[in-house]
Amino acid sequence: MKKENYKNSTYLPPTHQKISIMEDKIVTLKNYDSMVEAMFDQEVLRANHIECFINNEQVVELYPMFADIDEGLKIVVFEKDLEKAQKVLEEYHRSAEKSV
C-alpha cells in the first residue's frame, strides 16, 4: 500500500481509511392502547420517510393483560428522527381533528 505524506500527516487511500459508523439510539415516540392506533400512526410516519416500528406488539396481542407492563404497545424511532416524527404526528392529528 502506497502512503503519501500531506502536511506532516499520513494519507491512506479511502479504501484503507478507518470508517467510523454513527450508531443511533432507538427511543420511544408514543405509547398506545390499541394496535389499530399504533399501526395507523406507523403508516403516517412511513409515508413521511421516517423509519419506525411497533415494539411489544406480539406480546400484547397474545396476552392483553401485559399491556400495562412496560408501557404496552409503543412506536419507536431513531433518536435523530424523534423531533421530526413528533411534529409529523402532531400536524397530522391536528388536521384530522379539523376535518371532523
The pLDDT tens digits for 30-79 are: 999 888 899 999 999 999 999 999 887 566 666 666 555 556 789 999 99
pTM value? 0.65
What pLDDT is stored for residue 20 in this prediction?
Answer: 44
The pLDDT tens digits for 5-35 are: 445 555 555 554 444 455 679 999 999 988 8
Question: Residue 93 belongs to what H/E stretch?
Answer: helix 82-99
Can you tell me the distance from the alpha carbon of 11 to that of 47, in angstroms, rounded to the nearest whole number? 43
Question: Helix or strand or coil: residue 47?
Answer: helix
Can you tell me the distance from the alpha carbon of 78 to that of 5, in angstroms, rounded to the nearest whole number? 39
- Structural domain boundaries of the chain? 26-99
